[in-house]
Structure 1
């Protein structure tokens, strides 16, 4: 979390003792960052999205477009993975047949 904070991905309020104080929006954003990283969005892209988010409602169209673009990449990767899995299944089947001979 300290890393994300240093990267400027979020700004968490602190109490009088310097401890981070999280509200529901902060936690939701941190969870979303983790989801974006899990689908291979790089930190630079996440930072851009975070900037747009902080700009408020006026950036909703840009954020939606941003997410659609990344979604398209994910769908393409999913289709590629599906083909790889199909080929792997074929190879497994062929190898099993050789084993039984």
Structure 2
């Protein structure tokens, strides 16, 4: 498979020097050649997977618990009113 490094650079809005085009072109060609080698493998009896190993989420049970009292939540606030946090005004 032949891919133009100039075309890819244009799509990515990259300006490459001739030296960079030569370097990246060689690297890209190596990657594509390796992918072609992988395409030679017989995978018809292998089921598609998203991960090579099984991944399990470690989660805790969702148990409702009482929330903090308002006074306790506001206890360490640097500036507060009776019911709310006070923050500096940022929009004029």
Question: Which bin holds the TM-score, normalised by the shorter protein?
Answer: 0.3 to 0.5
Structure (1 or 2) with the larger CA radius of gyration: 2
Output the TM-score relative to the length of structure 1. Answer: 0.31
Output the TM-score relative to the length of structure 2. Answer: 0.34
Give the helix-richer structure, 1 or 2.
1
